[in-house]
Amino acid sequence: MLSETKLNVLKQISGDLSRDEAIWASGYLAGIAGGASLTAVLPPQQINNNTQNAVKKITLAYGTETGNSKKLATALAGIVKKKGLQVKLADLSQYKPKDLAKEEFFFVVISTQGEGEPPALAKKFYDYIHENEINLNGLKFGVLALGDSSYPLFCQTGEDVDSRFEILGAQRIIPLKKCDIDYEQEASHWIEHVFEAVNRSTDQGAKNISAPKVSAGRKKYQGKVSAIINLNDITSEKETYHIEIETDEALAYQPGSALGVIPFNSKEVVHEIITLTGTDPQKQVGTPKVTATVEELLYKHLNISYLLKSVVAQYAKITGHSIPEVRLSLLDLLRIYPVNNADEFEEIIQILTAQAPRLYSISSSMEAHGDTEIHITVARSEFFIDHQKHNGLCSGFLSEFKEGEDVEFYIQEAGHFKLPEADRDIIMIGPGTGIAPFRSFLWERDATGAEGRNWLFFGDRNFISDFLYQAELQDFLKTGSLTHLDLAFSRDTAEKVYVQHRLEQKAQEVFYWLEGGASLYVCGAKEPMARDVEETLLTIIQNQGKRSREDAVLYLEEMELSGRYAKDVY
């Protein structure tokens, strides 16, 4: 019972309370009596906003040619609305790409037309994201790609949008899903996973809300090349360079992250362009992103090596030439369809897109190599046009560096491609330069004493000349940091043997590892390696797990969605 004094105080206070205030006060007192916390009985307007869950709202955008993507996106929006998500449906033909940076959850349903082209109505959006450097560090995304597998560039537009978003810093929270002409069932599975991924992401955001992670944007590092080594023997047909870069400033990255670099164009090509056009190389010209001399713009800032079809079309309009729908270098365009004068070439400069960064998997570990050193593995790319040999722009740029030269770069954080818990087993499939992130994985696990087992499948052309990081891998085997190493050198035997054949030979044990919870990684060429490896994995799951083809696909899909199956292919 209350003392008379306290009772009088309570009567005095309660006498002026409204009905609602009295109800609240009774709840407050009941909460104290039951030992409840103050926040449990506070009215909503007095609870700290940090305790509230974030509003679960997504944007579902579609790019369509025949109407299928629109029809599907509308149906999918209805499904998630019934589950309690707020959905904004957006047509990419009308969506303002500048608004992307304001989005939190952005999901795309988009089809592919003809030879890997985007739908005509979505082309403006597609070109914008590929031609502009947008900071999408705050965006979480997923892509559902529609296509027809009878065409060689199946779901190419979806792949392009998915990879471009990642390059721009967005976080992929659900893997790219590619659907054939019978897409309804797969699409319904996809939207279920979208719902789960958004819930996971917002729940995690609520847990971390007291210490929000603030993105500083794309941080640029200045480094010096401290070592550059050709990993191939002199008898090899290939050149693969191990490049080490040292910095004065401490780096921050995780195994699986990538190093981004913007390459410079060939000085010889720039000189030839200036000669052909008769322009003054020292004339200052302003572009939407930078003002510099013509020479510096062409050398450091603008893409001149492989122009988009839309840029070629603008070139034709300015010069008056009739040019077919093709992709050519600026130099080839100028040779075949010359400009009329230097002033006209200045107009051409205005339509050129900014030089796009190239990403290379980091092959070092901060735990093993320190925080002022970073390594990448670069294969010098060569191709022929009209029987004339050309080098890949960035691989040529990097492989021609000399020790002591300066290089500017940034770190692209690992999204889905990262190590699991230290006690989890991992299977790594990485022929050629696909070994790069797995070298990082192995050094990291070796340095930290991770208990999980590590199994690597590596392949290339010849054992003698193309066994990249041979000594290191053999040392990891000796120390037990590498549990199994399976090799496939395709040119050493009469019948070509690739990594997928080694997987087939170890099918029973591979499936045993997967059933035991191992994480699976594939890195390297998308075509045909990654496709062939996935087909082999599906066969293993079918045969060893006594499953149907459909169940095997679902098994691998569930692994991917749970983060146990990750691909870094190019």
CATH number of the domain residue 306 falls in: 1.20.990
65 and 188 fall within a common domain: yes
pLDDT (mean) for 338-354: 92
528 vs 12: CA distance, rounded Å: 83
Structural domain that includes position 558:
426-569
- Give tens-digit pLDDT for 202-246: 655 544 433 333 333 478 899 999 999 999 999 998 999 999 999
β-pair type (406-412, 220-230): antiparallel
Average the pLDDT over each of 9-23, 36-50, 231-245, 347-361 and give the range with the smallest value.
36-50
β-pair type (358-361, 484-489): unpaired
| Assigned domain for 205 exists | no
447 vs 367: CA distance, rounded Å: 6
Q: Is the pLDDT of residue 9 over 80?
A: no
β-pair type (258-261, 406-412): antiparallel
327 and 439 fall within a common domain: no
Find out whether 351 and 344 touch, Cβ atoms under 8 Å. no
- Give tens-digit pLDDT for 124-175: 999 999 988 888 988 999 999 998 877 778 889 999 999 999 989 899 988 9
80 and 175 fall within a common domain: yes
What's the distance, CA 157 to chain centroid?
A: 15
What's the pLDDT score for residue 443? 95
| Assigned domain for 247 exists | no
| Assigned domain for 346 exists | yes
Most confident of 53-67, 369-383, 510-524: 510-524
| Assigned domain for 469 exists | yes
What is the CATH number for 121?
3.40.50.360
- Give tens-digit pLDDT for 469-495: 999 999 999 999 999 999 999 999 989
Return mean pLDDT, the chain: 84
pLDDT (mean) for 556-568: 90
538 and 446 fall within a common domain: yes
| Assigned domain for 181 exists | yes
527 and 450 fall within a common domain: yes
Nearest to 257 by CA among 374, 379, 422: 374
Find out whether 175 and 416 touch, Cβ atoms under 8 Å. yes
pLDDT (mean) for 110-122: 87
pLDDT (mean) for 320-346: 91
Task: Give the percent of the chain with pLDDT over 90.
Answer: 53
284 vs 289: CA distance, rounded Å: 14
Task: Say which residues have a Cβ less than 8 Å from residue 279's Cβ, sequence separation at least 6.
Answer: 294, 342, 345, 346
Q: Is the pLDDT of residue 395 over 60?
A: yes
Number of domains comprising the chain: 3
What is the CATH number for 510?
3.40.50.80
- Give tens-digit pLDDT for 53-107: 444 789 999 998 888 899 899 888 888 888 888 888 889 988 988 889 889 999 9
Dihedral Cα 359, 364, 366, 367, nearest 10 deg:
150
CA dihedral over 531, 534, 539, 542, signed as positive or negative: negative
Asked which of 184, 199, 214 is the last residue of a domain, the reply is: 199
What's the pLDDT score for residue 501? 97
229 membership: H or E segment, kind and range: strand 220-230
193 and 325 fall within a common domain: no
The pLDDT confidence band at residue 184, using thresholds 50, 70 and 90, is confident
The pLDDT confidence band at residue 441, using thresholds 50, 70 and 90, is very high
| Assigned domain for 281 exists | yes
Task: Say which residues have a Cβ less than 8 Å from residue 379's Cβ, sequence separation at least 6.
Answer: 238, 239, 240, 241, 395, 432, 433
163 vs 145: CA distance, rounded Å: 12
297 vs 294: CA distance, rounded Å: 5
| Assigned domain for 463 exists | yes
58 vs 207: CA distance, rounded Å: 20
pLDDT (mean) for 299-306: 88
What's the pLDDT score for residue 5? 52
| Assigned domain for 221 exists | no
What's the pLDDT score for residue 317? 93
More confident residue, 27 or 82: 82
456 and 565 fall within a common domain: yes
Q: Is the pLDDT of residue 29 over 80?
A: no
What's the pLDDT score for residue 290? 86
Q: Is the pLDDT of residue 21 over 70?
A: no
438 vs 293: CA distance, rounded Å: 42
Dihedral Cα 128, 134, 138, 142, nearest 10 deg:
30
272 and 168 fall within a common domain: no
More confident residue, 475 or 396: 475
559 and 430 fall within a common domain: yes
176 and 274 fall within a common domain: no
Asked which of 169, 199, 229 is the last residue of a domain, the reply is: 199
161 and 61 fall within a common domain: yes
β-pair type (171-172, 177-179): unpaired
Asked which of 295, 319, 351 is the last residue of a domain, the reply is: 351
335 vs 339: CA distance, rounded Å: 9
Average the pLDDT over each of 226-235, 252-261, 301-310, 436-445 and give the range with the smallest value.
301-310
For residue 460, the cross-strand partners are 489
